[in-house]
Every structure is written in structure tokens, then in C-alpha cells.
């Protein structure tokens, strides 16, 4: 054992130093362990930001970063704590308001969330996820019919945002508005749900390809996300997949792409009538194809005649629409089309 003599007193030095080092290392590793328990895979990043708060200065970017880490960990209370600090320091911080609003909404604290949403929108914010969560908030506070309008605006901002799409589609189906629900899927997928696994599987249900006995007749409402394209859901032949056709009230004939016929295993008769059709300043050679029992959103409409060509879109034109009244209208900057008798 090493010691030194000072003022006739034996002073033990090495053991004291050793225990100090051991204590420091123990405290250090316990701190690291606690940080890992609290912050998991983000423990090093969170520790670095916290040290900046202690030894440099507390700042909004540090709180925002810690709040973002809490979001990644799906720790709502942790996220709320840091975003509340951001908003308390800078009430007009859009990022802080947005995150605080969503964190509160996820906890179903709708009344507390609402003023943060409003403050965010008053600053010019319009992100699709904020529109979605605000729609859920309004649905809870004022009713789903009003809340859905905000969620539709979320879909308009990002048609691929699945949570918003599912929310509105399910709402329309619950309200017995099948044509609206299906046309929304058509609009979100631009007429090709087969390119989206979720919607493709969703439309495989029998309820969407069979006669809807609860329907109110030949009356359909369609929705548009861009103000121009309206997608109408058709089942051309029994036990075939639902297909979307774009409504064009300034085109004379109903058109169908030959790829669609091939997919549905529907052949073109060799002696079928041929016609040259002009579309978008192009001359298209088309074969007449007749379907005797077409369903529109589950409603039988009888025989519908199409002209099939290789480079034409799937569309419904005047030859079918002339049988109905057509009315365009809008509500809260959302565009609709009614087709009815």
C-alpha cells in the first residue's frame, strides 16, 4: 500500500483515487444504462442533445430534436413535454404547433388539440397529415360529416395517404354511399387500383362485384380530387373484376382499352363492327363490343356498348350519359358529379 507522510499524518492516496475512479465509472455506466432504457436506439443522440442543453444553452432546435426522437419511439407523453416547451417559448412555431396538435389528437385529447391546429393553419400550414388529424378532431367534436371534409382535403394533398383514404371510404360505406366510396378509390388510384395492394385486395370483395340489393336505383354520386377526373365503377360481366372508367361528357362513345378486355378474358368478335373514332386529335380504329348486363356500383343498367382500341383510355361518353341527367357541384372546394334518372 502506498502512502505519504505529511504533518506526522499518514495520508492514503492510491485507494482513494481508485475508489473515485470506480465511483465515477459506475455512475457513468448507470447513466448510460438509464439513457438506453429511456431512449433505446436513440440514446446516444438524445444524450448529446441533452448535454448541449446543459453545457451550451437550451434552445428550440434541441427541444424539437428531442420531441422528434420521442415521436420515433411513439412515446406520446415524452413528445408532448418537449413540444409544449417549444410552443411556450415561441407560440408561433409551426413545427412545434403541428407536432403538439397531433400528439394530443393521438391521445384523443381533442379539445386541447383543436386550438393548436387552428394556430398552425392560421400561420399558413397545410400539410396532409395535419389536415387528416384535424379532420379526426373535428369528427369527434362536431360530427363526422364535417370532419370528413377536412380528411378529403388531406387526400387531395396526398392521394397515397392510406389512413385518410381508409377513413373516408369506410365512412361513405357506412352511410350507404357506395358510388362515392368506390369513386374515391378510383380517384386515389387514378383508375388503377391493381397498382395498390391495399385497394386491390379491398375491391376483391364480392359486395363490390355483385348486384347491390339495397341500392336506391340508378343514382350515383362521384367525387373528384383534381376537379376534372371522375371515375365511375363498372362490372362489365358477371364474376369479373370491377373496373374504373373516366366520365367524359364531351366524348361521343364509350371506349375501352383492349388490355382491359384481355385482362377480363373477353375476346373481340372477328366480325365485330369497326369505327374510326377521333380522340384528342388522334384517329383510333375501334371494334364494337357489347356487354348485356353491366353493373354500375352494384346497380344493373342493362346493355352498354363500347368501342375497343389499343391506345384509348377506359371512358364513359355521351352514348351512356345521354340516358341520364348529369349535374356537377362542389362543396367546400370538393367537387362532385351526380348521374341520375
CATH number of residue 84's parent domain:
1.25.40
Considering the domain boundaries, does residue 12 fall inside one? no
The whole-number pLDDT of residue 10 equals 47
Determine the structural domain holding residue 156 and report its residue range. 126-175
Per residue in 123-177, pLDDT tens?
A: 999 999 999 999 999 999 999 999 999 999 999 999 999 999 999 999 999 999 9
Q: How far is CA 247 from CA 72, 133, 231, in A?
A: 43, 32, 6
Looking at the fold, whether 220 and 298 belong to one and the same domain comes out as yes
Considering the domain boundaries, does residue 40 fall inside one? yes
Per residue in 215-272, pLDDT tens?
A: 778 999 999 999 999 999 999 998 899 999 999 999 999 999 999 999 888 888 888 8
Looking at the fold, whether 96 and 75 belong to one and the same domain comes out as yes
Considering the domain boundaries, does residue 7 fall inside one? no
C-alpha cell at 132: 387528416
Alpha carbon distance 339, 272 (integer Å): 30
Domain's final residue, options 109, 136, 156: 109
CATH classification at residue 192: 2.40.70.10
Per residue in 289-331, pLDDT tens?
A: 999 999 999 999 999 999 999 889 999 999 999 999 999 999 9
Query: Residue 64: in which H helix or E strand, if any?
Result: helix 60-72
Looking at the fold, whether 287 and 165 belong to one and the same domain comes out as no
From the list 175, 172, 242, 180, the residue with the least C-alpha distance to 207 is: 242
Looking at the fold, whether 171 and 182 belong to one and the same domain comes out as no
Looking at the fold, whether 184 and 292 belong to one and the same domain comes out as yes
Considering the domain boundaries, does residue 152 fall inside one? yes
The whole-number pLDDT of residue 291 equals 94
Using an 8 Å Cβ cutoff, are 279 and 312 in contact?
A: yes
Considering the domain boundaries, does residue 220 fall inside one? yes
Residues 6+ apart with CB under 8 A from 2: 12, 13, 14
Looking at the fold, whether 140 and 256 belong to one and the same domain comes out as no
On the question of pLDDT at 280 being above 90, the answer is: no
Looking at the fold, whether 210 and 83 belong to one and the same domain comes out as no
Per residue in 204-229, pLDDT tens?
A: 998 898 988 887 789 999 999 999 99
Q: How many domains does the chain have?
A: 3
Considering the domain boundaries, does residue 36 fall inside one? yes
Considering the domain boundaries, does residue 207 fall inside one? yes
Amino acid at each position: 500500500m502506498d502512502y505519504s507522510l505529511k504533518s506526522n499524518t499518514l495520508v492514503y492516496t492510491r485507494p482513494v483515487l481508485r475508489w473515485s475512479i470506480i465511483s465515477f465509472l459506475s455512475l457513468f455506466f448507470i447513466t448510460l444504462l438509464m439513457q438506453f432504457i429511456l431512449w433505446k436506439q436513440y440514446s446516444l443522440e438524445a444524450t448529446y442533445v441533452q448535454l448541449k442543453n446543459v453545457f451550451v444553452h437550451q434552445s428550440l432546435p434541441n427541444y424539437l430534436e428531442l420531441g422528434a426522437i420521442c415521436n420515433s419511439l411513439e412515446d406520446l407523453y415524452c413528445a408532448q413535454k418537449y413540444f409544449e416547451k417549444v410552443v411556450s417559448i415561441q407560440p408561433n412555431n409551426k413545427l412545434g404547433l403541428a407536432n403538439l396538435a397531433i400528439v394530443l389528437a393521438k391521445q384523443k385529447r381533442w379539445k386541447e388539440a383543436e386550438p393548436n391546429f387552428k394556430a398552425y393553419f392560421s400561420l399558413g400550414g397545410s400539410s396532409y397529415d395535419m389536415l387528416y388529424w384535424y379532420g379526426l378532431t373535428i369528427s369527434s367534436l362536431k360530427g363526422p360529416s364535417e370532419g370528413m371534409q377536412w380528411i378529403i382535403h388531406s387526400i387531395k394533398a396526398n392521394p397515397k395517404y392510406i389512413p385518410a383514404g381508409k377513413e373516408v371510404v369506410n365512412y361513405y360505406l357506412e352511410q350507404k354511399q357506395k358510388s362515392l366510396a368506390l369513386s374515391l378509390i378510383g380517384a386515389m388510384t387514378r383508375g388503377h387500383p391493381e397498382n395498390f395492394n391495399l385497394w386491390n385486395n379491398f375491391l376483391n370483395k364480392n359486395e363490390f362485384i355483385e348486384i347491390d340489393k339495397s341500392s336506391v336505383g340508378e343514382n350515383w354520386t362521384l367525387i373528384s380530387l383534381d376537379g376534372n377526373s371522375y371515375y365511375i365503377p363498372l362490372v362489365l360481366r358477371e364474376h369479373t373484376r370491377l373496373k374504373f372508367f373516366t366520365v367524359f361528357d364531351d366524348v361521343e362513345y364509350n371506349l375501352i382499352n383492349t388490355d382491359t378486355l384481355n385482362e377480363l378474358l373477353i375476346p373481340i368478335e372477328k366480325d365485330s363492327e369497326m369505327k374510326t373514332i377521333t380522340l384528342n386529335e388522334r384517329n383510333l380504329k375501334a371494334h364494337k363490343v357489347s356487354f348485356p348486363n353491366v353493373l354500375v356500383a352494384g346497380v344493373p343498367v342493362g346493355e352498354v356498348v363500347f368501342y375497343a382500341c389499343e391506345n384509348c383510355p377506359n371512358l364513359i361518353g355521351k352514348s351512356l350519359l345521354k340516358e341520364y341527367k348529369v349535374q356537377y357541384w362542389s362543396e367546400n372546394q370538393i367537387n362532385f358529379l351526380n348521374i341520375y334518372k
